[in-house]
Amino acid sequence: MAIIIQPLLQKCTTLSHIQQLQAHLITTGIFHFHPLHRSKFIDFCTTISLPYATQIFLTISSPVTNDWNAIIRGNAQSLQPAKALSVYRQGLRKLACKPDALTCSFTLKACSRALACNEAVQIHSHVVKYGFVADVLLQTTLLDVYAKSGCLDSACKVFDEMSVRDVTCWNAIIIGLAHGNRPDEALELFKRMTGDGQGEGVGVGFKPNEITVVGALSACAQLGMVQEGEKVYEYVRREKLDVNEQVCNVVIDMFGKCGHVAKAYQVFNDMRCRKSLVSFNTMIMCLGINGEGSEAIRLFNEMSKEGFRPDNVSYLSALCACNHSGMVDEGVKLFEAMTKDGLVAPNIKHYGTMVDLLGRSGRLNEAYNIINSIPVTITPDVVLWQTLLGACKTYGNIELAEKASRKLVEMGSNSDGEFVLLSNIYAAQRRWKDVGEVRKNMKYKQVKKVPGFSYIDVKGAIHKFVNGDRWHTHMEEIYNKVEEIMCRIMEHGYVPETDYVLHDIGVEEKENALSYHSEKLAVAFGLMNEEEDISSPIRVNKNLRICGDCHEVMKLVSKAYEREIIVRDRTRFHRFKNGLCSCKDFW
C-alpha cells in the first residue's frame, strides 16, 4: 500500500488534489484502518494547506501519535510556530495522545522559533517524565531552544549533563552564549572543544566547523580580543573554511570591531569566495566605526559600480561612516539621494543617524527638523529625542533640550541617560536647583544610572573595572599609576574638565572623581603590565560613550608614554596616537 500512496502524494500540488486523494483513502478504508498511511497523508497535507490538515486531524476520533506529530511539525515550521504549542497541549488534555521523542522534538523546535522559554521548560519536564532524556538528538534540540530563547543557565545545565556530545551540541551552546552577551563563556567553551587552554582535552576529537568558528569569532569581536580572534582566523585558513562567505564576513567584522581595520580590509580584498552585498556592507561599517569615512564612501560607490544595488543596511553603514568622521555635507547628500531615489525607504535608524550627524555638528535646528519630517508611517522612538538631547548638552542649548526632555516624558521613557544628560546641561550652567529637580524625579521614578565599566585583555585574561573601582587585587598599584599618569600629562598641558562631573562639589573632589573613571583605570593597568612591549597598543572596551575628559587624557597619555591606545566605546573606535585621536575630536 505504501508503494501506491507515495506516488499519489507526490502528484498532489493543490488542495483540490488533496481532497480527491482523501476521498479515495476514505472509500478504500485506508484512512481509517491504516494509521501509518493516514499519518503520512496528513504530514504531506500540511505542506499544501495547514488549516485543512488541522481540520482533518480534528475529525479523527482516535488519533495516533504520528497524526499528532504531523500537525505539530506543520505548525512548528509555519509562520506561526506558537500554534504548535497549542496543538501539543490540546493533544495531551483533550485527545489523550501519548507523546514520543519526535513529539517533544517538534514541539521544542516550535519553542525555539517562538522563543518560548517557559514552554520549553514544561516540555523538558515531559522529556524526563516519559523517559526520553537519553535521546542525544532530543537533548541537542532542548539545548538549542534554551540557547536561542535566552535561557542560557538552563542551556549550560543541559550541556553539562549530556553524557554524549557531538559538534551540533557544542555549536548550539557556543552560539547561544556568544549571542546572549556571554562571549567570555562562549570563547572558553570553544577552547574546551578544541582542547586548548583551561579544560584541555575535554573536547579533543571535535573539529570546529563553519558554525563553530562564527560563534567564536563573534565572541572575540564582542570582547575585543584580537589575539584570540587571530588564532581562530588561523584555524579558519588552515582548514580552508574561508571559502564560506559567512565565515569571511564574520572575520571581517571581528577584525573591524577589534580596531584592526587594515587587517579587515586585507581579508575583504583576499576573499576566496565571491563577495556579496553583505560583504560590502560589513566592510563599509568596519571602515566607518574606525573613522575611515572617506574610504567607506569610496567603497560604497565602488559597490554600486560592481553591480550591487545598495540596500537599507548599505545606506545606514555609509551614513554611520559619515557620522563617525564628521562628514556632514557628504552625509546630507547621501541621505537626500537615498530619499530622492525612492529605491530604499529610510527607516528609523537612518533618521536617527542623520539627527546624530547634524546634532553633533551643531546644526541642532536641522536635526530637530529631521525629526519633524519623519513620515506618519514611521513612529519616532525615544532614541531620536535622546540623541537630540545629547547634542543639546554638547552645545548648551537649554531651550531645545527642555523640548526634547518633555517629549521623552510624553513618550513614557524612563531611561537614566536622558535624566543624566539634562542634569549635565543644567550643571554646566550652574543651575543647581534644576539639577536637584532632575535628581528628585530620578529618585521618584526609581531610575538608576547605568554604571560605566571598561575591560582590558592583558596576557589572555580579561580584567574589568568600574568607575571608582576598589575591588581589583592590584588596586593600590593601579591608583598609584593613575596618580603618576595625571602628574605626567599635566606637564603636557592637561587641565581636568570638571564640567563632566555633575555634582555640586568642590573642584578638587571633581578632579578626583574624573581621575578614576573606568577607562583610566584600565589604561593604567595596561601600562603597568605591558611596559616591556611598547609596540603593542593598549586596547580598552567600554560600555558607555567615552567622556570628554577621558578623551583628552587618552590623547595626552598616548603622547607622554609614546603608546598607542585604542578605546572602543558604545558607538565607535578611538585610536589615540601621538596626542591625536582618529575621530578628530568629532564623536
Selection from 247, 298, 238 nearest residue 273 by Cα: 247
pLDDT for 504: 45
Distances (CA, A) of 579 to 53, 175, 493: 70, 40, 11
Q: What is the pLDDT of residues 343-371, one digit of tens each?
A: 789 999 999 999 999 998 999 999 999 99
The number of domains in the chain is 4
Whether 434 is covered by a domain: the verdict is yes
Distance CA 538, CA 422 (A): 33
Cβ neighbours, 10 Å, residue 493: 10
Q: 231 and 239 in contact (C-beta within 8 Å)? A: no
Sheet holding 461-466, edge to edge: 461-466, 453-458, 538-542, 565-568, 573-577, 580-581
Residue 266's CATH number: 1.25.40
Whether 436 is covered by a domain: the verdict is yes
Range of the domain at 497: 454-581
Q: Is 539 found in the same domain as 472?
A: yes
Specify the pairing of strand 453-458 against strand 538-542.
antiparallel
The residue among 274, 297, 312 that closes a domain is 274
Q: Which residues contact 112 (CB under 8 A, 6 or more apart)?
A: 120, 141, 144, 145, 148, 149
Q: Is 259 found in the same domain as 170?
A: yes
Whether 151 is covered by a domain: the verdict is no
- Given a cut of 60, whether residue 512 has pLDDT beyond it is no
Whether 169 is covered by a domain: the verdict is yes
Percent of the chain with pLDDT over 90: 43
pTM: 0.78
Which DSSP string corresponds to 117-158?
Answer: HHHHHHHHHHHHHTT-TT-HHHHHHHHHHHHHTT-HHHHHHH
Distances (CA, A) of 12 to 5, 8, 29, 57, 78: 11, 7, 20, 19, 20
* Residue written as grid cell 554600486: 304
What is the DSSP-derived secondary structure letter of residue 274?
A: P
Percent of the chain with pLDDT over 70: 91
Q: What is the pLDDT of residues 242-285, one digit of tens each?
A: 999 999 999 999 999 988 899 999 999 999 888 999 999 999 99
pLDDT for 40: 84
Per-residue pLDDT band for 72 (boundaries 50, 70, 90) equals: very high
Q: Is 234 found in the same domain as 297?
A: no
Q: Is 484 found in the same domain as 565?
A: yes
Whether 72 is covered by a domain: the verdict is no
Specify the pairing of strand 538-542 against strand 461-466.
unpaired
Q: Which residues contact 420 (CB under 8 A, 6 or more apart)?
A: 449, 502
Distance CA 113, CA 331 (A): 38
Q: Is 397 found in the same domain as 292?
A: no
Q: Which residues contact 253 (CB under 8 A, 6 or more apart)?
A: 217, 218, 221, 264, 282, 285, 286
Whether 147 is covered by a domain: the verdict is no
Helix ranges restricted to H, 200-311: 210-223, 226-238, 245-257, 261-269, 277-289, 293-305
Distance CA 446, CA 502 (A): 19
Distance CA 436, CA 316 (A): 39
Whether 459 is covered by a domain: the verdict is yes
Burial 386-421 (b: 16+ CB within 10 A, else e): bbbbbbbbbeebbebbbbbbebbeeeebeeebbbbb
Q: What is the pLDDT of residues 11-29, one digit of tens each?
A: 777 777 877 777 777 877 7
Distance CA 70, CA 77 (A): 11
* Residue written as grid cell 557544542: 170
Whether 130 is covered by a domain: the verdict is no
Distance CA 145, CA 498 (A): 49
Selection from 370, 372, 363, 358 nearest residue 330 by Cα: 358
Q: Is 514 found in the same domain as 564?
A: yes
Q: Is 355 found in the same domain as 254?
A: no
- Given a cut of 80, whether residue 552 has pLDDT beyond it is yes
Q: Is 267 found in the same domain as 175?
A: yes
User: Considering only 406-410, 445-449, 481-485, 501-505, which range has the smallest mean pLDDT?
Assistant: 501-505
Interhelix angle 226-238/245-257, rounded to 10 degrees, is: 160
Give 457's strand partners: 462
Query: What mean pLDDT do residues 226-237 have?
Result: 92
Q: Is 357 found in the same domain as 282?
A: no
pLDDT for 205: 60
Q: Is 572 found in the same domain as 462?
A: yes
Per-residue pLDDT band for 233 (boundaries 50, 70, 90) equals: very high
Q: Which three cell numbers stand for residue 239?
A: 582548514
Distance CA 317, CA 319 (A): 6
Give 541's strand partners: 455, 568
Q: Is 427 found in the same domain as 411?
A: yes
Q: Is 392 found in the same domain as 376?
A: yes
